[in-house]
Amino acid sequence: MINIKDIARMTNLSTTTVSKVINNKVDDLSEETVKKVLKVVKEYNYMPYKTILNNKSSKSFTIAYITKNLTKSLLILTGILDVFNSEGYSLLIYDSQNSIETENLNLSKLSNQNIDGLIWEPVDLNNSEYHEKIIKQNNYKILYINSYEQKIDNFYIDYEKMAYIATQKLIDYKHKRIACVYKSDSLRGMETLKGYKRCLMDNSISYFKEITFDDDDLNFNVSMFGSSTAILTSHFTAADNIRRYFNNQNIFFPEDISLVSMMNQIRSSVEEPDISTIKIPNKDFGRFVGRKIVQLCELNRIEEKKFVKDYLITNDITIDIPKDIRESKAIVIGGINVENIVHIDKSLEEVSSQYADNMLTIPGGKALNQAIGIKLLEKNVELIGRIGSDEASDLILKTLEDYGINDKHITIDKSTKTASSIVVTKKTGEYSTIVTKGANDFISKEFFFKNDNLFNNTSFCIVNTEIPMESVSEILKICKLKKVKTILQPSTITNIPNRDYKNIDILFLTSFEAKVLTKENIIENQFKYFSSKKIKIIIISLGSEGIYLKVNDEIKFFKSKQHSVVDESSYNDAFLSAFCARLMDNYSVYEAANSAIIAANYSISKMGSFDSLIDLKTLNRIESTR
């Protein structure tokens, strides 16, 4: 067993200097000297002789931690232990369970412990019987954390700054009437209220007391939030309860109102929350506290006076601009699949078998193509659909990300595969398609019935019949109620139910689909059939030859001017995307059709689905030359 002389020899210091370090009298010693001695003491597990051991000023390398509520401090505790394990310290833990009586009992127990320091998270420092007593009667160092008391050196997570950042995020999204839900009995809650108020003031936004609520007194009622367009909460439980209540009232985040909450890191250890949150860095704070108490015990001073951290909002999943100023959007609903494209020289009617140049696998489907087409024309678009849980779905989700289209309304079905198709194209540009239903066949009408809020603030909805017809019917009905203009694209069906015609504003179909649905070969008769169903705008596509447009009683033909056809497969999707986008720009039907023909012509001059879709800059440039 080593003694003080051995330590002095190993550190090349005097026994007096070593004794000062061991007995915590380091004010006149350098940090380097203190660390040199303590390194040897910890390495050899040195314990003073009995006479020194009975002296409470001797080093024990033990710290006590009195926490207000251990359940809520677990990540702080984990951070502290990370530091203590590396620095050679032991930890005594006391849980006050939010009780001043239990806290006083815990403090009284410390009189029998030989500790170097105390990390204390007070329940109520002003009413503590032992506060003054432990300061006078003990020589150990005290580090206060998360206290209301402003007269002491106190380390805490900057909840006020977090609330300020969260409020500013909502203001950046153009919110001016933001409600705040906080806990008045917690430091976090009160600091949240302060940060919220300060941010409003800095942005010259009025503070309304009637839309600030104490979480404990919150009686759920939609009307109590008044005309608020966003809500900030200090605790995640409150945010989750608010969301559930609002959803039961058919009010959704962020379609109807935005929501941001603070959240303890421990809540997201299993899965990412579906609410926009600003995470509380409890574990990092615990590491900071651990380093500070060691510094205080060993050097009798603290270098940093404040815990500094970058506070970030995890995602924007429940944040959007207020719906009354939000740019109107288009919704595209229908088939999403992965396409296997084969290029051949001759049609299968001419030969029984032949070699293909190659096979290309890409994400596709009418709905996906059209959503990307509208996005390229810089319009707000949402895609609703269903895919499987497979490699094909990964490809589709990556494509949506690449084009900046939100995938929050894409359902991943683990019980089935993503739909697929085989597209056979000839050098002439002609093509034929074979589609498997896959996950598309499981898009239910109940989904739209329960989520009709998705159609809020929507100008146009394009829906194709590569999903169940009963779901299409439900979509058309909801759009009619919501005053959303509908564009129906019938495919793979032989009949449109009579009940649905009254809910269709624009009907877009190929000449083949028109023949199937009307049982007529002459285009004028096809138009008469659909007109008898009270459809005011009818578009029949002849592919690369052009399109017929009937508005009320007038029929007009828009001829394609493209001479060389490379790939015709994206023609209709390109036309429909541009047609919808231009209508959203308040073009007349005929003006929109003129733009759409340019987009369709552009598409058949290039190979591939997405590469052949026109962007806004190119469309505007071509239009300007005509």
Phi, psi of 328, deg, nearest 5? -65, 150
pLDDT at res. 108: 81
Q: Return d(Cα 228, Cα 211) in angstroms, integer.
A: 8
Burial category of 493 from C-beta neighbours within 10 Å (exposed 0-12, middle 13-18, buried 19 and up): middle
Spatial strand order of the sheet with 506-510 comes to 410-413, 381-388, 329-333, 458-464, 485-489, 506-510, 537-541, 546-551, 554-559
Q: Return d(Cα 506, Cα 592) in angstroms, integer.
A: 13
Q: Return d(Cα 352, Cα 207) in angstroms, integer.
A: 77
Q: Return d(Cα 542, Cα 546) in angstroms, integer.
A: 5
Q: Return d(Cα 26, Cα 313) in angstroms, integer.
A: 43
Place of tokens 């250890």: 269
Q: Which residues contact 350 (CB under 8 A, 6 or more apart)?
A: none
Q: Return d(Cα 363, Cα 357) in angstroms, integer.
A: 20
Place of tokens 């828009």: 558
Q: Return d(Cα 449, Cα 487) in angstroms, integer.
A: 19
Q: Return d(Cα 71, Cα 186) in angstroms, integer.
A: 15
Sign of CA dihedral 28, 30, 35, 41: negative
Please tell me whether residue 279 adopts helix, strand or coil conformation.
strand
Please tell me whether residue 285 adopts helix, strand or coil conformation.
helix
* pTM given for the model: 0.58
Give the residue from 353, 378, 311 showing the smallest Cα distance to 585.
378
pLDDT at res. 256: 85
Q: Which residues contact 117 (CB under 8 A, 6 or more apart)?
A: 63, 64, 140, 141, 142, 143, 293, 296, 297
CB 388 within 8 A of CB 413: yes
Q: pLDDT tens digit string along 537-551?
A: 999 999 889 999 999
From start to end of 357-409, where are the E strands?
Answer: 359-364, 381-388
Q: Return d(Cα 543, Cα 66) in angstroms, integer.
A: 76
pLDDT below 50 — which residues of the chain? 50-54, 267-270
Q: Return d(Cα 69, Cα 154) in angstroms, integer.
A: 18
β partners of residue 385: 410
pLDDT at res. 50: 41
Q: How many residues does the chain have?
A: 626
Please name the amino acid found at residue 622. Answer: I
Q: Which residues contact 162 (CB under 8 A, 6 or more apart)?
A: 192, 195, 262, 278, 280, 311
Q: Which residues contact 96 (CB under 8 A, 6 or more apart)?
A: 66, 67, 68, 69, 102, 103, 106, 121, 123
Helices 366-376 & 391-402 angle (0-180, nearest 10): 20
Burial category of 197 from C-beta neighbours within 10 Å (exposed 0-12, middle 13-18, buried 19 and up): middle
CB 70 within 8 A of CB 96: no
Q: Which helix (H) or strand (E) holds 66?
A: strand 62-67
pLDDT at res. 268: 45
pLDDT at res. 180: 96
Is the preceding omega at residue 273 within 30 degrees of 0, hence cis?
Answer: no
Q: Which helix (H) or strand (E) holds 609?
A: none
Instruction: Convert 381-397 to b/e letters by CB count within 10 Å (16 or more is b).
Output: bbbbbbbbebebbeebb
CB 390 within 8 A of CB 418: yes
**What letter does residue 313 receive in the DSSP assignment?**
B
How far CA 211 is from CA of 206, 223, 227, 241, 328, in Å, comes to: 11, 10, 9, 17, 28
Q: Which two tokens stand for residue 76?
A: 């702080």
> Using alpha carbons only, what angle is made at residue 424 by residues 423 and 428, rounded to the nearest 5 degrees?
125
